[in-house]
């Protein structure tokens, strides 16, 4: 005997579960493929998407120490991109893969918006927009956003302030002779 009380239109059936699982798998596969395609690091160097993200973050994080002149600022940012490649190549492969995944997620518009609240592409965002996005991550209660903020800011600062050419900009005289 069949119990008709559980044969309600709102009660999910096996086919509904299968269709839902299929659609969810396809969506996650497409997202994963898109993130992989737009990953931020390839063969130990920043991809175009990775450069766009780190250049935008550098414009915001280093705003007070970058030159005011537009040409000099751009030259300093390009130097920063080269230094970032050196820093990334010095990382273990596992860290490069994790950073590539983060940059891939930040290059993807929906996940960029979920992680940062930034609706514009990194190349179109103003320094104020980027600072707001970084603050959204920094003040978020969820661990992925907090870790993402610290990775972006810390790697940017590490690459910039570990270069002796930039020490004078930050009024750091260099290491003391002992």
Residue 59 belongs to some domain of the structure: yes
Model pLDDT, residue 59: 95
Residue 1 belongs to some domain of the structure: no
Q: How many domains would you assign to the chain?
A: 1
pTM given for the model: 0.77
Model pLDDT, residue 36: 54
Residue 54 belongs to some domain of the structure: yes
What are the Cα distances from residue 106, in Å, to 16, 20, 67, 132, 148? Answer: 33, 27, 27, 15, 9
Q: Is residue 131 a contact partner of residue 77, using CB atoms and an 8 Å limit?
A: no
> 58: domain range?
46-166
Residue 106 belongs to some domain of the structure: yes
Helix, strand, coil distribution of the chain in percent, nearest 5: 65, 0, 30
Model pLDDT, residue 132: 96
Residue 128 belongs to some domain of the structure: yes
| pLDDT tens for the 178 residues of the chain, in order | 555 555 555 556 667 666 776 666 655 565 555 555 556 788 888 899 999 999 999 999 999 999 889 999 999 999 999 999 999 999 999 999 899 989 998 998 888 998 899 999 999 999 999 999 999 999 988 888 899 999 999 999 999 999 888 888 878 888 888 8
Residue 5 belongs to some domain of the structure: no
Angle of CA points 66, 92, 98, to nearest 5°: 75
| Dihedral pair phi/psi, residue 33, rounded to 5° | -65, -40
Residue 20 belongs to some domain of the structure: no
Residue 27 belongs to some domain of the structure: no
């Amino acid at each position: 005997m069949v119990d008709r009380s559980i044969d309600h239109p709102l009660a999910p059936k096996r086919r509904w579960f299968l269709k839902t699982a299929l659609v969810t798998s396809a969506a996650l596969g497409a997202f994963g493929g898109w993130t992989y395609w737009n990953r931020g690091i390839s063969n130990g160097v920043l991809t175009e998407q990775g450069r766009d993200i780190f250049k935008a973050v550098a414009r915001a994080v280093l705003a007070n120490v970058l030159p005011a002149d537009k040409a000099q600022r751009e030259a300093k940012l390009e130097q920063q991109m080269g230094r970032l490649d050196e820093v990334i190549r010095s990382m273990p492969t596992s860290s490069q893969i994790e950073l590539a995944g983060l940059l891939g997620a930040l290059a993807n518009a929906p996940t960029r918006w979920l992680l940062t609240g930034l609706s514009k592409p990194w190349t179109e965002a103003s320094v104020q927009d980027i600072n707001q996005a970084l603050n959204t991550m920094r003040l978020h209660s969820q661990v992925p956003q907090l870790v993402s903020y610290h990775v972006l800011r810390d790697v940017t600062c590490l690459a910039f302030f570990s270069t002796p050419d930039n020490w004078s900009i930050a009024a750091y005289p260099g290491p003391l002779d002992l």
